[in-house]
């Protein structure tokens, strides 16, 4: 049966399309993993035609994607690209899209479509309404899927409203809410690490684990993204999505089947069990920061209280994790770029080997380095030769860059686009998970927005964040400890 599959990128000329989506599709094409039947339609405001759209995308892929792009292979790939000019508020644009789809799908016995919402969140609703209004979501000739970028809503109430809009046009099973962290190779490897090994499961609980630290730090400042970022801040940009997704993968119960829904349900159960802090309780369980110089960035509102850093302490009230603090932190303009989950194990119950005064015997840590230097580290204690019983920490390491030297680690979007094409929703976010994620952070957002509450604490650009974030752990007798970048 001849099939046509079209990916319509709403916001098809934007940064995401240029940097990530089109380059990911190009790579899939080069790898021979993009079926010949796949076409891509850019749908955006810019005054372009097919030829100038292809050139615009070529430029983006070459200059912005950070991956090698070859002209010959590109020209082959670019034949799949076309462009329709759009005003998302104008039904005529969606009629034009319909006509273009009809032309592309002409002669195919089956015509499947993905609508990728790579537009600013304020345009999600008009985009969905436009698609529904023009009958583009009707599954008369094949399946229809909609991929929605983050942030999905700006709090629980607005996410519920957006869900209603989406569900007026698409069934939940057609909705692919994306969080690119789930497409990262090492994030998927967390699942393999936990569920394809037997030795870790017995210690993966409150009996052995002292605390868990999740760090997603970036060295970049907001740069030219202040227009977006200043209205969003680190909680909506990183914590509600990327950090809570990492928390789910590290804390979830093993699913009992490979069914995508089983995996998704287990992730949701973690968020259900996260203890909800009130705005007042967040005063003791969260720290917000803003890097020095943020207020001078172009596009930042005068006196902005937007946090560029946040740290928080969460608890998961279930049998596995009761009483184990999970510390999360994320920030811009920090001392190092790393995404890392560190499981800190309890100290041995008895000290057999007396250590010199002031010498700290560091307990075991298992660190999962999600990026940029992907791998795992296990810190363990070892005897220093010929110095009595002096103990020093050593590291057992696995890194992709050494174990798979010369092999490219695929971009997250590559995997996620492939999954959306094949209809595997395991690595996408279900509506109920979004709702729970917002309900965890909403009281903190409320607190931060309250002019009566303290402003975010200043921290020096290039540091590890405000001192209060260290105090958050020190109060419990812990300290932030980053293993993945231990040699930087």
Mark 320-339 with x for binding to ligand BG6 (rule: CB under 6 A) and - for no binding.
Answer: -------------------x
Nearer to ligand BG6, 66 or 293 (CB): 66
In three-state secondary structure terms, 441 is helix
Question: In the bound complex, what is the minimum distance in angstroms from residue 479's beta carbon to ligand BG6?
Answer: 24
Q: What angle do CA 147, 106, 86 make, to 5 degrees?
A: 45
d(CA 345, CA 339): 19
d(CA 218, CA 333): 6
Nearer to ligand BG6, 53 or 438 (CB): 438
Copy the structure tokens of residue 380: 């363990």
d(CA 132, CA 124): 12
Catalytic residue among 56, 180, 242, 344: 242
User: Nearest residue by C-beta to ligand BG6?
Assistant: 237
- Under the binding rule (CB under 6 A), the answer on residue 186 touching ligand BG6 is no
Out of 154, 218, 419, 442, name the contact with ligand BG6 by CB under 6 A.
218
Mark 231-260 with x for binding to ligand BG6 (rule: CB under 6 A) and - for no binding.
Answer: ------x-----------------------
Strand order in the sheet with 375-383: 391-399, 375-383, 365-371, 338-345, 209-217, 326-331, 309-314, 286-291, 457-459
Nearer to ligand BG6, 26 or 181 (CB): 181
Nearer to ligand BG6, 306 or 339 (CB): 339
Question: In the bound complex, what is the minimum distance in angstroms from residue 147's beta carbon to ligand BG6?
Answer: 15
> In this structure, are residues 253 and 187 in contact, taking their beta carbons and an 8 Å threshold?
no
According to DSSP, the residues that pair with 328 across neighbouring strands are: 214, 312
CB count within 10 Å of CB 145 equals: 21
Question: In the bound complex, what is the minimum distance in angstroms from residue 220's beta carbon to ligand BG6?
Answer: 6
Nearer to ligand BG6, 150 or 379 (CB): 150
Copy the structure tokens of residue 337: 């770029």
Helix axes 244-251, 431-449, angle to 10 degrees: 130
According to DSSP, the residues that pair with 391 across neighbouring strands are: 383
**DSSP 8-state code for residue 89:** T
Q: In 274-354, where does DSSP find H-type helix?
A: 279-285
Question: In the bound complex, what is the minimum distance in angstroms from residue 48's beta carbon to ligand BG6?
Answer: 26
Nearer to ligand BG6, 329 or 379 (CB): 329
Question: In the bound complex, what is the minimum distance in angstroms from residue 282's beta carbon to ligand BG6?
Answer: 22
Q: In 83-201, where does DSSP find H-type helix?
A: 91-105, 124-133, 156-167, 185-195
Copy the structure tokens of residue 432: 């109920």
Residues in the interface with ligand BG6 (CB under 6 A) total: 4
Q: Would strands 81-85 and 175-177 be described as parallel, antiparallel, or unpaired? A: unpaired
In three-state secondary structure terms, 485 is coil
Find how far residue 1's CA is from the centre of its chain. Answer: 37
167 flagged as catalytic = no
Nearer to ligand BG6, 316 or 434 (CB): 434
Among candidate residues 327, 180, 195, 322, the one with its CA nearest the CA of residue 249: 195
Question: In the bound complex, what is the minimum distance in angstroms from residue 367's beta carbon to ligand BG6?
Answer: 16
Question: In the bound complex, what is the minimum distance in angstroms from residue 206's beta carbon to ligand BG6?
Answer: 29
List of residues contacting ligand BG6 (CB under 6 A) = 218, 237, 339, 371
Residues known to be catalytic = 242
């Amino acid at each position: 049966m001849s099939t046509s599959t079209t990916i319509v990128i709403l916001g098809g000329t934007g940064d995401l399309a240029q940097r990530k989506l089109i380059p990911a599709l190009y790579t899939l094409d080069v790898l021979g993993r993009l079926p010949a039947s796949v076409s891509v339609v850019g749908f955006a405001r810019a005054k372009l035609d097919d030829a100038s759209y292809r050139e615009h995308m070529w430029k983006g892929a070459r200059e912005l994607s950070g991956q090698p792009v070859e002209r010959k292979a590109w020209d082959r790939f670019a034949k799949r690209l076309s462009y329709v000019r759009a005003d998302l508020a104008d039904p005529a644009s969606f009629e034009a899209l319909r006509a273009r789809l009809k032309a592309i799908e002409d002669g195919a016995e089956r015509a499947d479509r993905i609508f990728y919402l790579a537009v600013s969140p304020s345009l999600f609703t008009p985009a969905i309404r436009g698609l529904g209004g023009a009958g583009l979501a009707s599954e008369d000739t094949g399946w229809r899927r909609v991929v929605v970028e983050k942030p999905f809503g700006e709090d629980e109430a607005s996410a519920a409203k957006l869900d209603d809009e989406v569900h007026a046009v698409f069934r939940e099973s057609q909705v692919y809410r994306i969080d690119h962290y789930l497409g990262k190779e090492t994030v998927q490897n967390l699942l393999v690490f936990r569920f394809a090994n037997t030795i870790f499961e017995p210690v993966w609980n409150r009996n052995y684990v002292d605390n868990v630290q999740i760090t997603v730090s970036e060295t970049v400042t907001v740069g030219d993204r202040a227009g977006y970022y200043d209205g969003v801040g680190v909680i909506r940009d990183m914590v509600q999505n990327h950090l809570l997704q990492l928390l789910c993968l590290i804390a979830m119960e093993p699913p009992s089947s490979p069914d995508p829904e089983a995996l998704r349900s287990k992730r949701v159960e973690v968020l259900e069990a996260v203890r909800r802090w009130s705005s007042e309780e967040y005063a003791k369980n969260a720290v917000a920061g803003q890097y020095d110089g943020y207020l001078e960035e172009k596009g930042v509102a005068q006196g902005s209280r937007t946090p560029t850093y946040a740290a928080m302490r969460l608890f998961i009230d279930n049998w596995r994790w009761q009483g184990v603090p999970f510390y999360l932190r994320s920030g811009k303009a920090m001392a190092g770029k790393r995404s890392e989950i560190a499981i800190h194990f309890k100290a041995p119950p008895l000290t057999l080997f007396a250590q010199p005064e002031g010498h700290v015997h560091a307990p075991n840590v298992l660190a999962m380095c999600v990026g940029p230097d992907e791998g795992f580290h296990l810190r363990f204690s070892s005897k220093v030769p010929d110095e009595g019983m002096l103990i020093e920490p050593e590291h057992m390491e696995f890194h992709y860059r050494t174990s798979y030297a010369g092999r490219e680690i695929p971009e997250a979007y590559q995997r996620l686009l492939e999954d959306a094409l094949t209809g595997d929703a395991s690595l996408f976010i279900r509506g109920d998970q979004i709702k729970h994620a917002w309900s965890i952070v909403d009281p903190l957002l409320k607190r931060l927005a309250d002019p009566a509450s303290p402003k975010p604490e200043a921290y020096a650009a290039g540091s590890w964040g405000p001192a209060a974030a260290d105090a958050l752990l020190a109060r419990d007798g812990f300290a932030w400890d980053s293993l993945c970048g231990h040699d930087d």
